Amino acid sequence: MPTVFVLLALAGAALAQEPLPSQENVTDYAPSVNVECPDFSTTSLIREFTPQNQSLHPSEVEYVESRLNTTVKAAWNDWLGDGSVLGYNLSAFQDVFPKVGLAIPGGGLRAAQYGAGCLSGLDSRNESSKAAGTGGLLQVASYLSGLSGGSWVTGSLFFNDWPTISDLVYGNDGNLTGWKLDLPFVSPDGDDVFSTNNQYFYGSILWSVIAKAQAGIDTSITDPWARAISYHFLNQTSRDNFFNNDTAHGAGQLWSDIPQIPAWQQKLTPFPLLVTDSRPAGDNSTTALPPGPIVYEITPFEFASYDPNLSAGMNLSYAGTHLTNGKADNGSACVKGFDQAGFMMGTSASLFNQIFDFARNTLQGFDSDDSNTLIYILQRQLRSVSTRSDDVANWPNPFSGLKPDTFEDSDSNWLSLIDGASNGENVPYGPLFVQSRALDVIVTLEGSADDTNNWPNGTGPIATQSRLSTILLSSHQQFPPIPQTAADWVSTGVRQRATFFGCNPIQTPPEYPMVIYLPNAPPITGDNPVTNTGTFDLTYPLLHTQLFLDQVHFNTISGFTPNANTPDPNFGICLQCAAVDRARTKITPAVARSSMCSQCFQQYCYDPENPPSQSELPNRKLVFVDPTPQGLTKVEGFLGTNKFKLLGGVIGLVLFIALLCGGLFWWKKRRDKKMQYSQVHDFHDDRDTAGLWPRQSMGGAARYSDYHAEAYELPPAHPVERSYEPSFVAESFVADNRGPHSP
Ligand SMILES: *[C@@H]1O[C@H](CO)[C@@H](O)[C@H](O)[C@H]1NC(C)=O
Ligand SMILES: *[C@@H]1O[C@H](CO)[C@@H](O)[C@H](O)[C@H]1NC(C)=O
Ligand SMILES: *[C@@H]1O[C@H](CO)[C@@H](O)[C@H](O)[C@H]1NC(C)=O
Ligand SMILES: *[C@@H]1O[C@H](CO)[C@@H](O)[C@H](O)[C@H]1NC(C)=O
Ligand SMILES: *[C@@H]1O[C@H](CO)[C@@H](O)[C@H](O)[C@H]1NC(C)=O
Ligand SMILES: *[C@@H]1O[C@H](CO)[C@@H](O)[C@H](O)[C@H]1NC(C)=O
Ligand SMILES: *[C@@H]1O[C@H](CO)[C@@H](O)[C@H](O)[C@H]1NC(C)=O
Ligand SMILES: *[C@@H]1O[C@H](CO)[C@@H](O)[C@H](O)[C@H]1NC(C)=O
Ligand SMILES: *[C@@H]1O[C@H](CO)[C@@H](O)[C@H](O)[C@H]1NC(C)=O
Ligand SMILES: *[C@@H]1O[C@H](CO)[C@@H](O)[C@H](O)[C@H]1NC(C)=O
Ligand SMILES: *[C@@H]1O[C@H](CO)[C@@H](O)[C@H](O)[C@H]1NC(C)=O
Ligand SMILES: *[C@@H]1O[C@H](CO)[C@@H](O)[C@H](O)[C@H]1NC(C)=O
């Protein structure tokens, strides 16, 4: 019997059942529709501005400003003391300190764990960070931006009430449940996707998504993805309740509720910003996303863009409402509850239209037959679900009618939002460079995987520098000087050690912020690295997570010693020098840079006239060594053992998508045709259109390690091209998925 339909039947049966009353339930994922709108004659849900007269949401200004005078001021004093170790008299700065923002890029669970380990090294609550002098930078930060995997750690910190990283990731004896990364994202009960527990899991997820669809809001693959993210990064899922419906698993938790959390009320948290890109309606571009399309941000108050061509924001509580020229279709056509925390993180990580672009790091090295087969399967699954756009996050457009001369989606009813890294900017810098936020220092927790060993090589910062200096010239600050090519990031070594960019501006006030760059890099000790894992690793044994965080933590607090493999005992001081440096020019007369800090800057600053060299960083091991090889056995044998776990992540994801799309498709078809199935095998006829696995291979106890990609039917007349060069693949996928044309 085709077991896959058992799953679908379970999901369907659930809908038919009489719901039991319960306090929390996974259907809280559905937004409320037909909500009474505010009185548009006196209130507006839209805020418009111009690049020349840019403004921030007043509640953001109030929160950030009120922290500067209270908790942030206290944190600076706690971190730097009287400043004498740095060679300053801190009271000379008159409590006017630089405004600091942190950025956590994308890259799946690698990026999330890198961000976490790095934050722990900057957190004054961690004893070794405090002792090293690096712990404290987190507490002085006014902003924290996250994108994709970086949005998960950001959201997780807030929805767990801003705990220490150890408590957040591992859980504690109290109400923190930990990230549970040893439970695979897409098949948490192990690789038998038809096990009872896995079916419960898929059933609960589908129940949430179908509830949203029943409310009349278009769903997509981003929705089940958002729900899976919630099980790990929000606070309602423990090992004990993972496979039941005793909690809502984060359904009903809203991004706009962040200001209610205790740590926010105590002004302990920076202001969070998520980044998401857009694919303009009717865009037929044949390359990876160019820099043009609008980049959006999500704050606890607004869904907004400071890109000059839009320059507007919408009240986040009413996100999901379609507005034309700022007005709803009628007085009770508003939507609330669309800003589900998981969906906000899922939107920022909605990599499905770019999946192959995103996966270039992990698919590299596999022969083209295998990757083309995977690509084909995924395309086929997505096509089989016939909603508006299955591979993007579907957002009703609140900006319809606005700025028709410049806003590309002014005519569109929907926005297609996609992974925040889709335009090549993997570091969520955009919101931090917005002019009116006036940041002085931007700290990059750089966990991107650019090169073949999954280390960063400057690709993201180079893309941002270029977008800032062209499209965002009128609205954003500019990037300081950096090496201009990836090859230069490699040869100068700046991608393998803490580096400060923009130390020596010419103007007052400075023409760009200071950028403190803390890259994921091989251990300074010369040990084997365990932190350069693939973006599609969607499972980590607990031991790996622990070794990962400890390795990142150690590198973060250690700086580097030129031509050696030992920590720099002065790194904490040097980091303090960099963080506080811009304060010198904020007062008159300006304070001269101290000799201690000048000495630090000799070592850590990037000077384009006199660039450093990678040769100062000896014995760095670049190749990942798996610290828990036994954790991989599950996926071995899929396409040969030597292809190891990177492919496993992709397979898991593909299967997950297949299952959920299959389920959604089935539900839609059932709804449309009002079909009544009495027996499981009645579903057989759905096979072709549902596009699930070939029937022959579905009998018995199916495990995904039993499936052979070769068994999938390949498109006869329309072969996927023998290339997975990122731009091509992303484009062909998008194009294929948009029209009805079939292979
Ligand atoms: C879940 O919540 C929805 C909406 O509030 C309600 O209609 C439904 O009865 C609830 N189901 C259960 C099982 O509690
Ligand atoms: C700028 O915006 C403010 C309100 O935010 C308004 O009072 C002011 O007149 C505007 N200035 C210009 C030059 O448009
Ligand atoms: C913060 O302090 C400065 C000067 O110390 C003052 O001008 C400003 O009004 C204060 N802001 C808030 C929000 O308290
Ligand atoms: C620091 O500056 C303050 C005020 O400018 C002064 O009162 C104090 O004596 C100075 N401290 C030292 C150690 O020089
Ligand atoms: C989860 O966090 C929310 C705030 O976002 C809080 O209201 C709730 O009590 C938390 N739940 C648990 C189980 O800690
Ligand atoms: C965790 O529990 C403590 C007390 O049991 C409570 O004060 C705190 O708010 C809870 N945290 C969250 C996020 O709910
Ligand atoms: C949770 O609810 C969904 C939908 O009814 C169902 O598919 C799933 O099996 C349930 N889980 C458990 C453990 O009952
Ligand atoms: C996009 O492609 C469709 C169908 O291929 C075509 O009708 C449309 O004109 C194209 N749009 C643009 C902007 O090229
Ligand atoms: C959103 O709109 C409602 C209704 O006008 C208002 O009460 C609320 O303060 C607004 N929130 C923000 C963040 O602007
Ligand atoms: C902004 O709008 C103008 C006018 O339509 C257009 O020429 C320009 O390409 C747009 N900029 C971007 C970055 O899309
Ligand atoms: C840097 O990363 C990009 C993006 O992955 C890659 O195409 C390029 O080959 C890398 N270059 C170097 C020198 O590592
Ligand atoms: C500080 O970080 C280290 C390294 O990750 C960790 O072992 C330790 O438990 C942390 N301490 C606290 C109090 O979180």
pLDDT in tens, 350-402: 866 544 333 333 333 334 444 455 455 445 445 443 345 556 788 999 999 99
CA of 351 to the centre of ligand 5 (A): 28
Cβ of 80 closer than 6 Å to ligand 12, yes or no, is: no
348 and 484 inside one domain = no
Please report which confidence band the pLDDT of residue 665 belongs to, taking 50, 70 and 90 as the band edges.
Answer: low
Q: 699: exposed, middle or buried (C-beta count within 10 Å: 0-12, 13-18, 19+)?
A: exposed
Q: Which of 77, 89, 591 to mutate to test the pocket of ligand 4 (most atoms within 8 A of CB)?
A: 89
Angle value at C-alpha 220, between 216 and 221, nearest 5 degrees = 150
pLDDT on residue 369: 47
690 pLDDT more than 90: no
**Is residue 170 pLDDT above 90, yes or no?**
yes
183 lies in the same domain as 320: yes
Residue 71: its pLDDT value, please?
98
Q: How many residues does the chain have?
A: 743
For residue 416, pLDDT beyond 60: yes
Q: From the alpha carbon of 161, which atom of ligand 6 is closest?
A: 13
Same domain, 640 and 702: no
Residue nearest to atom 14 of ligand 9 (CA): 315
pLDDT at residue 698 in the model: 28
Name the pLDDT band for 161 (thresholds 50, 70, 90): very high
pLDDT 10s digits, 55-105: 999 999 999 999 999 999 999 999 999 999 999 999 999 899 999 999 999
Site residues for ligand 2, CB cut-off 6 Å: 53, 55
**Confidence band (pLDDT; 50, 70, 90) for 186?**
confident
Q: Which two tokens stand for residue 179?
A: 């990230």
The three state secondary structure string of 59-102 is: HHHHHHHHHHHCHHHHHHHHHHCCCHHHCCCHHHHCCCCCCEEE
Does residue 384 sit in the same domain as residue 426?
no
Q: Is residue 379 part of a domain?
A: yes
What angle do the packed helices 571-580 and 595-604 form, to 10 degrees? 100
Distance 230 CA to ligand 1 centre (A): 19
**Whose alpha carbon is nearest atom 5 of ligand 3?**
69
**Cα(166) to centroid of ligand 12, in Å?**
6
Residue 641 has pLDDT above 90, yes or no: no
**Averaged over 451-480, what is the pLDDT?**
97
Give me ligand 2 centre to Cα 389, in Å.
39
Query: Probe ligand 4: pick from 91, 588, 594, max atoms within 8 Å of CB?
Result: 91
Residue-level pLDDT at 135: 98
Q: Which atom of ligand 1 is nearest to the CA of 19?
A: 13
Residue 23 CA to ligand 1 centre (angstroms)? 8
Any domain includes 236: yes
Quote the pLDDT of residue 692: 32
What is the number of alpha carbons within 13 Å of residue 671 lying toward its C-beta?
Answer: 13
| 548 and 577 share one domain | yes
Please check whether residues 330 and 217 belong to one and the same domain: yes
Q: How many CB atoms lie within 10 A of CB 488?
A: 17
Let me know whether 76 and 124 are in one domain. no
pLDDT for residue 561 is more than 60: yes
Residue 86 lies in a domain: no
Asked whether the predicted pLDDT for residue 674 surpasses 70, the reply is no
Q: Which amino acid is at 484?
A: Q
pLDDT for residue 684? 30
Q: Which atom of ligand 3 lies at the shortest distance from residue 69's CA?
A: 1
Please give the average per-residue pLDDT across 448-454, as a whole number: 93
Least confident of 200-214, 255-269, 307-321, 547-561: 200-214
Closest residue by Cα to residue 362 from 211, 533, 246, 194: 533
Q: Is the confidence at residue 718, as pLDDT, over 50?
A: no
* Residue 163 domain-assigned (yes or no): no
Joined tokens for residue 728? 């091509």
Q: Is 282 in the pocket of ligand 8 (CB under 6 A)?
A: yes
Backbone angles phi, psi at 53, to 5 degrees: -135, 60
**How far apart, in whole angstroms, are the C-alpha atoms of residue 147 and residue 58?**
24
The SS3 assignment for 313 reads strand
Among 658, 674, 690, which residue terminates a domain? 674
> DSSP character for 727?
H
Protein residue whose Cα sits closest to atom 13 of ligand 7? 244
Block residue for tokens 């002065």: 570
Kindly report, residue by residue over 497-546, the tens digit of the pLDDT. 999 999 999 998 999 999 999 999 999 999 999 999 988 777 899 999 99
Q: Among residues of the chain, what percentage have pLDDT more than 70? A: 75
Q: Token digits for 451? A: 């090169």
Give the pLDDT of residue 222: 83
176 lines ligand 5 (CB under 6 A): no
CB 426 within 8 A of CB 459: yes
Task: Label residue 585 exposed, middle or buried (CB < 10 Å: 0-12, 13-18, 19+).
Answer: middle
222 in a structural domain: yes
Residues with CB under 6 Å of ligand 3 are 65-66, 69
Q: 137 and 40 in one domain?
A: no
pLDDT > 80? residue 686: no
Least confident of 131-140, 411-420, 626-635: 626-635
Range of the domain at 456: 97-148+421-627
22 lines ligand 4 (CB under 6 A): no
On whether residue 155 sits in a domain, the answer given is no
Distance CA 351, CA 653 (A): 11
Do 196 and 217 share a structural domain?
yes
Q: How far apart are CA 152 and CA 104, in angstroms?
A: 10
The answer to which of 301-315, 335-349, 683-697 has the lowest mean pLDDT is 683-697
Total structural domains within the chain:
3
Same domain, 623 and 555: yes
Query: Which residues lie across from 518 on neighbouring strands?
Result: 445
Query: Which atom of ligand 4 is found nearest the CA of 84?
Result: 13
Q: With bands split at pLDDT 50, 70 and 90, how would you rate the model's confidence at 3? A: very low
Ligand 5 centroid vs 173 CA: distance in angstroms?
Answer: 15
Does residue 307 lie within any of the structural domains?
Answer: yes
91 within some domain? no
Return the best residue to mutate from 15, 189, 207, 209 for the ligand 7 pocket (most ligand atoms within 8 A of CB).
207
Taking the C-alpha atoms of residue 64 and residue 439, their distance in angstroms, rounded to an integer, is 11
- Per the CB < 8 A criterion, the answer to whether 578 and 514 are in contact is yes
Output the CA 302–ligand 10 centroid distance in Å.
23
Last residue of a domain, one of 674, 699, 732: 674
Q: Assess whether 402 and 548 both reside in one domain.
A: no
| Confidence check: pLDDT of 437 > 90 | yes
Residue 289 has pLDDT above 90, yes or no: no
Same domain, 309 and 370: yes
Whether 261 lines ligand 5, by a CB cut-off of 6 Å, is yes
